[in-house]
Chain A
Amino acid sequence: MFDNLSSRFESILKKVRGKGRLTEADVDEVLGEIRAALLDADVNVGVVRNVVARIREAAVGAELSQALDPGQQIVKIVSQELTAMLGGETLKISYASKPPTVVLMAGLQGSGKTTSAAKLARWFKSQGRHPLLVGADLQRPAAVEQLRTLGKQIDVPVFSEPGDPVTTATRGLAEARRIGKDVLIVDTAGRLSIDADLMDEIRRISDAVTPNYTFLVIDAMTGQDAVNTAEAFHNTLAIDGVILSKLDGDARGGAALSVKEVIGRPIAFAATGEKLDAFEQFHPDRMAGRILGMGDMLTLIEQAESVFEKEEAEKTAAKLFEGEFTLDDFLDQLQQVKKMGSMSNIMGMIPGMPKAAKGAEIDDSMITVTEAIIRSMTLEERRRPEIINGSRRNRIAKGSGTTVPDINKLVKQFTEMQKMMKRMGGMAALSGGKANKKGKPGKVNPLKMAKAMREMGLSDLAGPGGGMKGFPPPGNNPSGIPSEGFPDFRDFR
């Protein structure tokens, strides 16, 4: 998400980074390109005008700073502007003292309200709440049916009855009270902001259920009209936050950046996939870093922390660095990694990940295939893949529905990874950490590890001649992954 915008910014800012002096022509050129990048990303025209003016002003004053060179100054200013544009703080959800906490979903047709309602219900559940969904979209054929199906998938009850949406919403609220649900999420029909009748209808729904939160669902692919829509809905309903849908596409999402600037309400949640767990709270400050290509470390760290058990992770680390990591361990870890979300999502959050790797075809079905292969191996084979001979290979291929070359590749790559990890354990130990005899990794830190990986260019992983599908041609870098694409963590603490 926002990837295209971030790669644009990276290449623009590269030009000024490290420059001791910026001429007026330099500033003009950079600003022109920033403007184009923002417009191509669908940032609202008026917002672009303001932002570019502010950056210009700040850039002109930049010479005064002693600490940073002008290039760094511009980077900093752009980053500040983006953060401001996105909104500073994460919207914190608080709960009504007298339940239920009522959430109203609003938006244009096809923006993703129904799916988002279900995702939100799932999110509330994960926060220990007990939501009830109300299907008040009585307009679109089978909309209630859709909500019911989704409700079943996440085990959340759905209330709806034919007739009038205002009545349904009111009855839904009564139902939540009756059955003791503490969160009520009301899905509504999509409507155009210029449709006076339907805007009046949603105002009446809102009056009837007096929501604690009214969320406007906006499609990440929306263009300049997003701010008009947001303004119109905001005038009618007083929006509390935006849910940004379909962020897993290649849209640059600039319209969303503009909404905060125009209605003064933050993006509260972002939806990043069709699956119901592809939904997260939106952290504006982190997103700015992500747009500038600095990755989204904080989210990644949080997700990692929620998934990996400290003790387990210690053991795994020890195994990894001792070269005792088996395919069976790998299978285990794969389950953990899967919990962190989709591969491409995770990749997007790793700072400095090569752009092409981000865009690579990281299909989560690859995980399934890999799992199938490993599962078709005996325990002994998983521990000592070197015993896998021709007949075993055939058996595994058959068992997993793959081919013998697939098995070969997996085993080979795994062995390479094993070697590299071991070497890295050694390197990290050398560079300060003490890996003690028992394999406890001691004071190795992730920054050093990452650095070590970068220095090695991950070359062992790509293997000899191993150009990777979807990765850029190796060029003069034998690894296939450009080493400068991997982050320098020295400043990260």
Chain B
Amino acid sequence: MNSAPMILLVLVGIVLLFGIGVVVFNRRKSALPESIEESAPVLVPKVVEAPAASPASVAVVSEVAVEAEEPEPTPGAVRRFARAAGIFNGSFAVLRGKDKITSETWEELEETLLRADVGLTTTTALLESLKSRVGRKDISTPQELLDALQGAMAGQLSSNSRELQFDSSVKMPNIWLFVGVNGVGKTTTIGKVAFAQKALGRSVLLAAGDTFRAAAGEQLETWAQRAEVPIVRGNEGGDPSAVIFDAVQSAAANNRELVLGDTAGRLQNKSNLMEELKKVRRVAEKEAGTVTEVLLVIDATTGQNGLSQAEQFALATNVTGVVLTKLDGSAKGGIVFAIETQLGIPVKLVGLGETIGDLVPFDPEEYVRELFAEA
């Protein structure tokens, strides 16, 4: 436990003193100190490298085919994505109202990107490169500028392979783990992925690795029934890595090819929970099985914290891809630009609703086109 008691003693000492001070001695309330002390150096998180190259012989799964065979399918998931107007919709009038590029044009573009959660750093980088092109007379009208921006944004998303990695030559089964902060849609996504993978002819098994949240097992069980795949559950409050381990053993014994492992939602700054996740990943491959995907689920409403999520989860579990959920809402998930450019983690899947068919592969061209769509 290292220096735990030391820190604890200091803290308790301070708190104790404080508490006693407050209660015993003259109670004084009101003004806060005017002076603000200098901040101590903050530990800077390490930058994460791009995930390691995929294993040599990866059977390519080019599509998560989502043919709606579900009892009550939602009408065309892809079209739902297009339903909401793009981020520039409100800006077009301002932008096109001018025939010259003015400072107002830049402000409008900047605010539009910021509103989509693209973030200041990425936005500034995008606009700076366009500014120099305008300076070179490469671009001269607002419309050209918009087109160039669309191209630049699509360009930021193109580098990595977005295929889900399934490899029948490794120690079977393949294991795909789903990780992320609380409430982003991990369990729901597993239900959808199970359904889609089964439709591709794979034998799937679910592992209820969230032993923490109340009724998480029941929730996944419902999805197992909907997707008609088996599930391995443990006890509530039990060791999550043990559940995943058991599921992998069971899959190996029954010749199941693919284990989808649910994990409890956790905030990335909780180091003990991140350690737990590392252990889950380690133990999953202890005997049978190979982890071929660790999918980080990110909610499209997430703001700049999404980058910290990706950083920390990647550090802990070597994330191989992102699932961007709830893109059927009004949020646009612009944080994925920072995640892709700064961390090199590709978005692989998109969640578009709460029913089993609402999952599509991420198509960067289409995504950027939607951002620029007119209502």
A414 touches B9 (CB 8 A): yes
Query: Among B24, B42, B43, B303, which residue has its beta carbon within 8 angstroms of that of A317?
Result: B24
Given A192-B329, A249-B267, A361-B271, is A40 in contact with B119 using a C-beta cutoff of 8 Å? yes
Q: Does A337 contact B (CB under 8 A)?
A: yes
Which residue of B is nearest A477, CB measured? Answer: B40
| Bound-complex Cα distance A212 to B363 (A) | 46
Is chain B's binding surface mostly helix, strand, loop or mixed? loop
B5 touches A373 (CB 8 A): yes
Q: Which chain B residues lie closer than 8 Å to A487 at the CB level?
A: 33, 37
| Residues of chain B from 252 to 273 with CB closer than 8 A to chain A in the complex | 267-272
Which of B22, B221, B222 counts the most chain A CB atoms within 10 A?
A: B22
B182 touches A110 (CB 8 A): yes
User: Nearest-CB distance from A190 to chain B (Å)?
Assistant: 8
Given A317-B24, A486-B37, is A493 in contact with B30 using a C-beta cutoff of 8 Å? yes
Chain A, residues 222-251, CB within 8 Å of chain B (1/0): the string is 111110110010000000000000101111
Binding stretch for chain B, among A54-62, A97-105, A260-268, A297-305: A297-305
Given A485-B39, A487-B33, A488-B37, is A274 in contact with B182 using a C-beta cutoff of 8 Å? yes
Which residue of B is nearest A250, CB measured? Answer: B269
Given A298-B29, A472-B40, A482-B40, is A449 in contact with B3 using a C-beta cutoff of 8 Å? no
User: Nearest-CB distance from B334 to chain A (Å)?
Assistant: 8
Given A370-B8, A409-B5, is A221 in contact with B303 using a C-beta cutoff of 8 Å? yes
| Bound-complex Cα distance A165 to B267 (A) | 31
| Bound-complex Cα distance A246 to B299 (A) | 14
Query: Among A145, A221, A317, which residue has its beta carbon within 8 angstroms of that of B181?
Result: A221
Q: Does A82 contact B (CB under 8 A)?
A: no
| Bound-complex Cα distance A213 to B136 (A) | 58
User: Nearest-CB distance from B276 to chain A (Å)?
Assistant: 12
Given A139-B354, A308-B23, is A406 in contact with B33 using a C-beta cutoff of 8 Å? no
Q: Which chain A residues lie closer than 8 Å to B302 at the CB level?
A: 221-223
Q: Does A10 contact B (CB under 8 A)?
A: yes
Chain B, residues 118-156, CB within 8 Å of chain A (1/0): the string is 011000000000000000000000000000000000000
User: Nearest-CB distance from A138 to chain B (Å)?
Assistant: 13
| Bound-complex Cα distance A48 to B35 (A) | 25
Given A112-B183, A249-B181, A250-B308, is A294 in contact with B6 using a C-beta cutoff of 8 Å? no
Q: Which chain A residues lie closer than 8 Å to B212 at the CB level?
A: 274
Q: Does A466 contact B (CB under 8 A)?
A: yes
Binding stretch for chain B, among A22-30, A126-134, A349-357: A349-357
Given A40-B120, A356-B41, is A469 in contact with B2 using a C-beta cutoff of 8 Å? yes
B35 touches A250 (CB 8 A): no
Q: Which chain B residues lie closer than 8 Å to A110 at the CB level?
A: 182-185, 299, 326
Chain B, residues 210-246, CB within 8 Å of chain A (1/0): the string is 0011111011011100000000000000000000000
| Bound-complex Cα distance A218 to B23 (A) | 35
User: Nearest-CB distance from B195 to chain A (Å)?
Assistant: 14
Binding stretch for chain A, among B58-66, B109-117, B160-168, B197-205: B109-117
| Bound-complex Cα distance A238 to B337 (A) | 35
Given A142-B222, A337-B12, A484-B37, is A294 in contact with B304 using a C-beta cutoff of 8 Å? no
B115 touches A224 (CB 8 A): yes
User: Nearest-CB distance from B20 to chain A (Å)?
Assistant: 5
| Bound-complex Cα distance A192 to B223 (A) | 21
| Bound-complex Cα distance A230 to B323 (A) | 25
| Bound-complex Cα distance A42 to B335 (A) | 11
| Residues of chain A from 20 to 71 with CB closer than 8 A to chain B in the complex | 36, 39-42, 45, 49
| Bound-complex Cα distance A471 to B7 (A) | 9
Q: Which chain A residues lie closer than 8 Å to B28 at the CB level?
A: 445, 447, 492-493
Which residue of A is nearest B219, CB measured? Answer: A142
Query: Among B8, B16, B335, which residue has its beta carbon within 8 angstroms of that of A366?
Result: B8
**How many B residues have CB within 8 A of the partner chain?**
90
Q: Which chain B residues lie closer than 8 Å to A461 at the CB level?
A: 6, 9-10, 13
| Residues of chain A from 407 to 424 with CB closer than 8 A to chain B in the complex | 409-410, 413-414, 417, 420-421, 424
B7 touches A246 (CB 8 A): no
Query: Among B6, B25, B41, B303, which residue has its beta carbon within 8 angstroms of that of A409?
Result: B6
User: Nearest-CB distance from B112 to chain A (Å)?
Assistant: 9
User: Nearest-CB distance from B231 to chain A (Å)?
Assistant: 13
B267 touches A250 (CB 8 A): yes
Which of A45, A141, A402, A466 counts the most chain B CB atoms within 10 A?
A: A141
User: Nearest-CB distance from B157 to chain A (Å)?
Assistant: 18
B20 touches A221 (CB 8 A): no
User: Nearest-CB distance from B269 to chain A (Å)?
Assistant: 4
User: Nearest-CB distance from A489 to chain B (Å)?
Assistant: 7
Q: Does B34 contact A (CB under 8 A)?
A: yes
| Residues of chain B from 314 to 350 with CB closer than 8 A to chain A in the complex | 326, 328-332, 334-335
Which residue of B is nearest A193, CB measured? Answer: B330
Which residue of B is nearest A144, CB measured? Answer: B215
Q: Does B1 contact A (CB under 8 A)?
A: yes
Which residue of B is nearest A254, CB measured? Answer: B303
User: Nearest-CB distance from A114 to chain B (Å)?
Assistant: 8
Q: Does A390 contact B (CB under 8 A)?
A: no
| Bound-complex Cα distance A268 to B29 (A) | 22
Q: Does B99 contact A (CB under 8 A)?
A: no
Q: Which chain B residues lie closer than 8 Å to A304 at the CB level?
A: 18-19, 22-23
Q: Does B47 contact A (CB under 8 A)?
A: no
Chain B, residues 300-313, CB within 8 Å of chain A (1/0): the string is 01111110110000
Q: A139-B354, A274-B212, A490-B33 are in contact. List 11 more A-B contacts (CB 8 A).
A: A40-B119, A142-B218, A219-B299, A219-B301, A254-B303, A308-B20, A351-B32, A352-B37, A356-B42, A363-B4, A492-B33
Closest 8 CB pairs of A and B: A446-B21, A223-B303, A110-B183, A141-B222, A42-B303, A149-B214, A225-B331, A142-B218
